[in-house]
Amino acid sequence: LTERGKRIPLDNSPLQIFVKAKKKINDIFGEIEEYVKDTVDYMHEVEKDGKIVNSDQVKNTEEYVGKVHSIRDVLQRDHMKVAFFGRTSNGKSSVINAMLRDKILPSGIGHTTNCFLQVEGSPSDEPYLVLEGSEEHCAVESVGQLAHALCKEKLNESSLVKVYWPKNRCLLLRDDVVFVDSPGVDVTPNLDEWIDKHCLDADVFVLVANAESTLMVTEKNFFHKVSTKLSKPNIFILNNRWDASASEPEFLDQVRKQHQERAVDFLVKELKVCTPREAEERIFFISAKEVLQARMSEGKPISVPLTEGFQTRYFEFQDFEKKFEECISKSAVRTKFEQHSQRGKYIANELRDILEGIYSDALKLKEEKLAERKELNDKINYTEQQLMVVTQEMKKKIHSMVEDVEQRVSKALSE
């Protein structure tokens, strides 16, 4: 149960793929950091000797400490990012709120999102927002306050306001999913700036379309631009306001089929971002408003009568959430961690090469010393032998001299 007594599903979400991978790669980089530090300490020791390692080599190795540290920094902040696009009032904010199971973003008439809004989890218990270019934490107690704070500021439509929402109030935020709501694609001439600023690191894009009309050129254009800058972006299409179809049940299947075909064509033939089979898993017919209402009133008696087909639409929303979680989690692991793991491998290999270099230099030095010692030994042995020979000869000479003297003396004595 959350603080507000809401039920949270058990933790078997596909987001755990990312969460676990993140923990693992962070642990591995922790070990790499230890390894680098040990290597530097060891090199300092060896440097004292002054023969095997020079100060440049030590300096080079020391640089790895900083490199590994900054990778660890980035890794700790890595998250999965989903960005929502669509025309004004198609229900982008409502979809985000439904997924977050709370009215976090202002939605509805008069609350048009006029800048980029990012919702991410925060460890603090109180929500707050931070405006672009500012460090100040502005407390927000309610959606009304948030809307007010946003209207009060004169914000550029490309600017970003970050909403920090307590992680303990929402499972998706706890698991490092960051949501980005955008102004309607119909209001801006700055699509390029939008993409460069907010989309290049997004793992998943959700196009919130209005099921009451067909996909518009402005919506399509935006995604054409995105797919020129990113290779095969992951795009989901939500046909929102599908509850409106309940009022015309006789056309329901026909309208759905038509929307489905157009959306599949858009993803497969126009954008070429997926296969027809994959596209089937990317297009959903939902009603964000209904899901949000249902989730907000969990545990309370239902106040609004349910529209025909609510249950089916609710299940379809849940199906979307599951497919979305699988997609974002796998994609983020690939895009966020693959490069880092290559880098980690590279650094570990470099360090091994450095240490192996030191080892082989040390071996060489040892062999040289041994060879020097052998040469010296040989010289000593030779000198010793020479000395022996000389000594023997001297001995012999002295001996014969003594004998000679003795003979002479005894001869002289006898005479």
> Which residues of this protein are in contact with ligand GDP, per CB under 6 A?
86, 88-94, 107-109, 111-113, 240-241, 243-244, 287-289
Shortest spacing between CB 309 and ligand GDP, in angstroms: 12
Smaller CB separation from ligand GDP, 68 or 98: 98
Radius of gyration of the chain (CA): 39
Query: Is the Cβ of residue 95 or residue 351 nearer to ligand GDP in the bound state?
Result: 95
Provide the minimum distance between the beta carbon of 11 and ligand GDP in the complex, in angstroms, as a whole number.
28
In terms of CB distance, is 53 or 163 closer to ligand GDP? Answer: 163
Residue number, 92 or 259, with CB nearest to ligand GDP: 92
Between CA 81 and CA 234 the distance in angstroms is: 11
Q: Considering the complex, state which of residue 88 and residue 400 has its C-beta at the smaller distance from ligand GDP.
A: 88
User: How long, in residues, is the chain?
Assistant: 415
Smallest gap from Cβ 34 to ligand GDP, in A, equals 47
Amino acid at 70: S
Longest dimension (CA), the chain: 163
The pair phi, psi for residue 207, each rounded to 5°, is: -90, 115
At closest approach, how far in Å is the CB of 246 from ligand GDP?
10
* Six token digits for residue 147: 């809307």
Residue with smaller CB distance to ligand GDP, 97 or 122: 97
C-beta of 243: minimal distance to ligand GDP in Å?
Answer: 5
Question: How near is the Cβ of 212 to ligand GDP at its closest, in Å?
Answer: 9
Distance between CA atoms of residues 80 and 172, nearest Å: 10
CB 351 within 8 A of CB 61: yes
Give me the helix-helix angle, 310-332 and 288-296, nearest 10°.
Answer: 90
Q: Name beta bridge partners: 238.
A: 208, 284
Q: How far apart are CA 241 and CA 230, in angstroms?
A: 29
Which residue lies nearer to ligand GDP by CB, 22 or 87? 87
Residue listed under structure tokens 């919506």: 219
Closest approach of ligand GDP to the CB of residue 223, in Å: 16
Q: Are 174 and 16 in contact (CB under 8 A)?
A: no
Pairing of strands 138-139, 128-130: antiparallel
